[in-house]
Structure 1
């Protein structure tokens, strides 16, 4: 962009100057005549003004470009006049990426620069998840008269990367009983090896001596074997609702429900992986994002990268259309037959709970973690909250577990409360 325009700063001065000169002549007032002559001279000078040059270079330095959510970094911007003329009035606004908040300093400056001189300003940004590319700095230069200005851009490619650490606050993510034949953390309704008592049965040849109920043998003479509740690993897919309808906030400056869902997905992923479960990630939105269930530290790094940088998990709502039938068919083809789903959605529209019902009906047990973005400050907000509560009640009545989560509370605390309730 390179636009030259008049500022109209001297608009009307010529007429006023000529009027003053005429009055001075008519009244024979030297002072009034002098004012008129000076005014005419300034107006004439303004009409001969030429557009300022754009011979400037901008350098942007970021103290730390790889950050975690909530971290702060200092941005230092230097502008140098590499031309041969003085810039008497130079104003610059840096291209701060959308979504990043300035916490200290200012991303703008107004100064005058002689040839070869530099001006520096700095400010501090708070990082949020994702890749953030700086836009070009917007600059306006004016000549000495201020009658003409040139608006142009100064570029210096700069990117800040913010990647969640996937540190779990949850010890036990609530899962259903659909499991695979490997020892893990999910308790089942089957007896076998484990630590929690399940039942006793008649002794069978080959049963380990350590599992024989010797007290009962001493008391009744009968040989019985103690069985414990088996714990196995689960295959879990974390499904994050990233449709346009999920980008809701309780207040304008708050993170969206999608942002809370992504944070919860990272938390749950880390906890499940630490427990030995096979975990994957999928996005429910126009953009595709899929990480097949797996284990290990390499898998953890892949999940971290996906949640941080995939287009499906962008900070802003998607512009593309969402086709529910196509997306559910896509998801069903990818879900392993033994997978259960942890569905993360604010449940603030009619289709959101329908996803949980359909997946459950397909044979994939569903647990919903729902960040609550609603408030009760206005009548409309109270109505939205009541409708969301009704959707949660309906899902629970249909046998789907729902964790109603206030994002102001640690996810681990909320999950622990729900686990205790479901264990009764």
Structure 2
């Protein structure tokens, strides 16, 4: 824009000097400049009318994985001699291949594909849109437009899967799992003896105990195994996660939280997550793959911070968790 103003000022100055001095040679110098500006105005771009479609090769990755961003641009308006596109992405994301900017000529109804590859640290990243700048070949006239696009990338914490985490909550739920419930019934571990009841499997009959009591039969009783409510609390307070050298332990806590959440959910338990730091972020308890995904997305967004309200652990709102839940606190304390 400044360049165009300078050229117009130069043209007017040349014409003014030529008219004042009545010098045809100076007037002749102004003609190429005038033609240059007029050609730029003649070929100036019309309104930008683009359809942009974005597709990610994956919407959920870990920090070491890469994702390919594919963008299709279709021109629904008039021809654009020079179109410069800039994708507005987070500076935390690192470009591995390709560029986040793209220069092309796009005729009416024509489409073009644009691709680049990136990766990044743990986090949740929104692709808000693309800035489009159209101009003529002389770069005299320009038009800009920001076009919103859909796209979100979750980079979840990497973790190693663990098995057989033994917990003993005060109360279990009614569904079968692998936590000893302290109640007799179907199970694996021996729990006690009781009198034989119709419907008992012959394999449950304890013949040795029955032989000592000829008037009755006795069956083995096993300890039932059930699922439980598990509440995980991640301590995100900056005051306890930052070391003297400025190094943070928070990423290790996030990875541990991801591993424990995955293990508890894989065992059939109902799991909830509370991020305790600058603010409270609560993931309501749930089961299965969908709950695992909710927790992983919440951990992707987890940030360290300080708050006067949540400066100590005494303010943890334990009432958010179901009664008799097994609470697991993950903290560098």
Q: What TM-score, normalized to structure 2?
A: 0.62
> 2-side partners of 1:181 and 1:57: how far apart?
56
Distance 1:55 1:251, change over 3 A: farther
> 1-side partners of 2:307 and 2:43: how far apart?
48
Structure 1: which 5+ runs fail to align? 1-6, 186-192, 195-208, 210-232, 293-297, 345-369, 371-401, 403-424
Match of 1:146, SS?
coil
CA shift, 1:287, in A, is 2.9
**Hey, what does 1:168 align to over in structure 2?**
161
**Hey, what does 1:342 align to over in structure 2?**
329
Distance 1:250 1:55, change over 3 A: farther
**Hey, what does 1:72 align to over in structure 2?**
66
1:123 aligns with 2:110: no
CA shift, 1:34, in A, is 3.0
By relative contact order (CA 8 Å, sep 6+), the higher-ranking structure is 2
CA shift, 1:28, in A, is 6.8
CA shift, 1:109, in A, is 0.6
Q: What whole-Å deviation, never above 9, does each CA across 1:250-280 have from its counterpart, x for those lacking one? A: 999x9x7544322111223445677999975
Distance 1:275 1:18, change over 3 A: closer
Q: What whole-Å deviation, never above 9, does each CA across 1:370-411 have from its counterpart, x for those lacking one? A: 3xxxxxxxxxxxxxxxxxxxxxxxxxxxxxxx5xxxxxxxxx
**Hey, what does 2:254 align to over in structure 1?**
262
1:309 aligns with 2:297: yes
Match of 2:83, SS?
strand
**Hey, what does 1:60 align to over in structure 2?**
54
**Hey, what does 2:150 align to over in structure 1?**
157
1:138 aligns with 2:138: no
CA shift, 1:314, in A, is 1.7
Q: What whole-Å deviation, never above 9, does each CA across 1:103-150 have from its counterpart, x for those lacking one? A: 221121122222233332211122655654321111111245433322
Stretch deviating more after TM superposition (49-58 or 13-22): 13-22
1:113 aligns with 2:100: no
**Hey, what does 1:352 align to over in structure 2?**
none
**Hey, what does 2:235 align to over in structure 1?**
241
> 2-side partners of 1:87 and 1:278: how far apart?
56
CA contact (8 A) 2:276 2:316 kept: no
CA contact (8 A) 1:49 1:147 kept: no
> 1-side partners of 2:119 and 2:154: how far apart?
12
Stretch deviating more after TM superposition (92-101 or 137-146): 92-101
CA contact (8 A) 2:40 2:138 kept: yes
Distance 1:20 1:300, change over 3 A: same
CA shift, 1:100, in A, is 3.7
CA contact (8 A) 2:250 2:304 kept: no
> 2-side partners of 1:14 and 1:337: how far apart?
78
Distance 1:236 1:144, change over 3 A: closer
Q: Which has the higher helix share?
A: 1
CA contact (8 A) 2:74 2:112 kept: yes
> 2-side partners of 1:64 and 1:258: how far apart?
26
CA contact (8 A) 2:157 2:300 kept: no
1:40 aligns with 2:27: no
> 2-side partners of 1:58 and 1:106: how far apart?
17
> 1-side partners of 2:234 and 2:309: how far apart?
14
Of 2, 5, 13, 1:8 maps to 2
Distance 1:269 1:321, change over 3 A: same
Q: What TM-score, normalized to structure 1?
A: 0.51
